[in-house]
Structure 1
């Protein structure tokens, strides 16, 4: 199965890791995962700083090599994967031949819009697989914005406010 997933992945946190892990599990050992990684220009619309594309790509590749490909009872997945540049919300998902897209609760509307636009282009719809967002210790979603603000770490652990004085 060919699966697509996309994001800025900065910083790479436990929610992103769930999204990626689900994408690889869905694709299966003989499948393919295409990871759309936002370009620096597209990511610059965020309200917090973003690391350069090359750094974010290296973090993704390291996580996949160290974590995802060593799952499945200790055997390496044969799943083919690639990272492509994502310069808008849709990337190649509007025209590519693929089977499924994996999204979070937050990005579900984008997947629905992708299927609507594919239908307009006379292309088959793709299956949408939604993961639940990973919650931080305080019961709120882990998000890059919260991490950049210093509220939580990449695992959702609360960071105590700095003491003044």
Structure 2
């Protein structure tokens, strides 16, 4: 049993891999010092990384009765205190950070200090056989336990709405920005102010929402239209400018359903945006109303999904673990065809 072990990292979106690392440290060390990357360094890598205070709070909550064996510190550089720490005698890492620990021990030797025993902790593996990581969680690929946000049969079958699912969708799924129905730009201007600087993508569902964003000079990154509003043909649908998008896709999706074709179109659009920021207009033959149930699970954390609420304004929903989990539950509850 080592008297003091060192652990360093960002520890964003505290997940099962983080938990396994700390549990191994507590099993082999009397005490642990956890050095969490500072906000300044973390935000320079990804603006979606949680604040240091939030990251540290989640760790402390997870420790339970072991909290008195762990201290938390701010990591301001790559190695922290490890090269000159006089009381530490172990350091924990994952396989890809092993070279950093070896470099630290070389620095310790130059400082006339003994080598730290390096404890390598294997990754926790996600459902798809690849490691759980904070970057994958932020990308929206997996949840904190490495599970997918989309049911396994998504894209293979049509999913049909039930009365239970419909009841859960009656209230606005997000923040409502109110405005007059005859001038949707009023609500949309407030939305654009709210989402300014977001990491994206901005996803718009519905012809009026898509057209309003275009009129304000801020076309969505991913837009879904069906030529209707309030389930009736919209006379201004033809004024939507398809040329504003890098790609155009078409699919069929009957009312009250989520077809395999709609999923494939949304997934392809999201992948193209991830790879090189390509925008996409998806023209749906049928209805696109339920598309957010697919879009949130597909999107990275920090994405924005917008849709109109007839007679009330525009609904904004940020993509986060909560929205992804809710959509997963609703998709699971739908009937398969």
After TM superposition, where is structure 1 displaced by more than 4 Å over at least 4 residues in a row?
Answer: none
Q: Distance in 1 between matches of 2:140 and 2:63?
A: 26
Per-residue deviation, 1:13: 0.6
* 1:110 equivalenced with 2:112 (yes/no): no
Which of 3, 6, 24 lines up with 2:5 in the alignment? 3
Equivalent pairs counted in the alignment come to 152
TM-score (norm 2): 0.43
Q: Residue 86 of structure 1 aligns with which residue?
A: 75
> Contact 1:24–1:79 (CA<8 Å) still a contact in 2?
no
Unaligned runs of 5+ in 2: 155-261, 267-287, 289-337
Structure 2: distance between partners of 1:94 and 1:109: 14
Q: Residue in 1 aligned with 2:115?
A: 125
Which protein has greater RCO, CA pairs closer than 8 Å, 6+ apart? Answer: 1
Residue of structure 2 in register with 1:14 after alignment = 16
Contact 1:4 1:36 (8 Å CA) reproduced: yes
Indicate how the Cα distance of structure 1 residues 146 and 48 shifts in structure 2: closer, same or farther if over 3 A, else same. farther
Deviation, structure 1 residue 48? 5.7
Match of 1:101 among 81, 91, 95: 91
Q: TM-score, normalised by structure 1?
A: 0.85
Q: Distance in 2 between matches of 1:119 and 1:138?
A: 41
TM-superposed deviation, 1:45: 3.4
Distance in 1 between residues matched to 2:67 and 2:31, nearest whole Å: 9
- Is residue 5–residue 91 contact of structure 2 (8 Å, CA) maintained in 1? yes
Question: What aligned pairs does 1:21-100 form with structure 2 within 5 A after superposition?
Answer: 21-27=23-29, 31-47=30-46, 49-65=48-64, 69=65, 77=66, 80-96=69-85, 97-100=87-90
- Structure 1 residues 118, 61: closer, same or farther in 2, change over 3 A? same
Q: Distance in 2 between matches of 1:56 and 1:78?
A: 15
Quick one: structure 1 residues 48 and 105, their matched pair in 2 at CA, closer, same or farther if it must change by over 3 Å? farther
**Structure 1 residues 5-45: Cα deviation after superposition (integer angstroms, max 9, x where no partner):** 11111100111100000111111xxx211000111012123
Show CA shifts across 1:68-89 (max 9, x none): x3xxxxxxx5963200110111
Higher strand share: 2
| Aligned residue number for residue 218 of structure 2 | none
- Shift in Å, 1:106: 2.2
Q: Which runs of 5+ in 1 are unaligned?
A: 70-76
- Whether the aligned pair in 2 keeps the contact of 1:33 and 1:82 (CA below 8 Å) is yes
The aligned counterpart of 1:73 is none
2-side partners of 1:140 and 1:78: how far apart? 30
Once the two structures are TM-superposed, the CA of residue 92 in structure 1 deviates from its matched residue by: 1.0
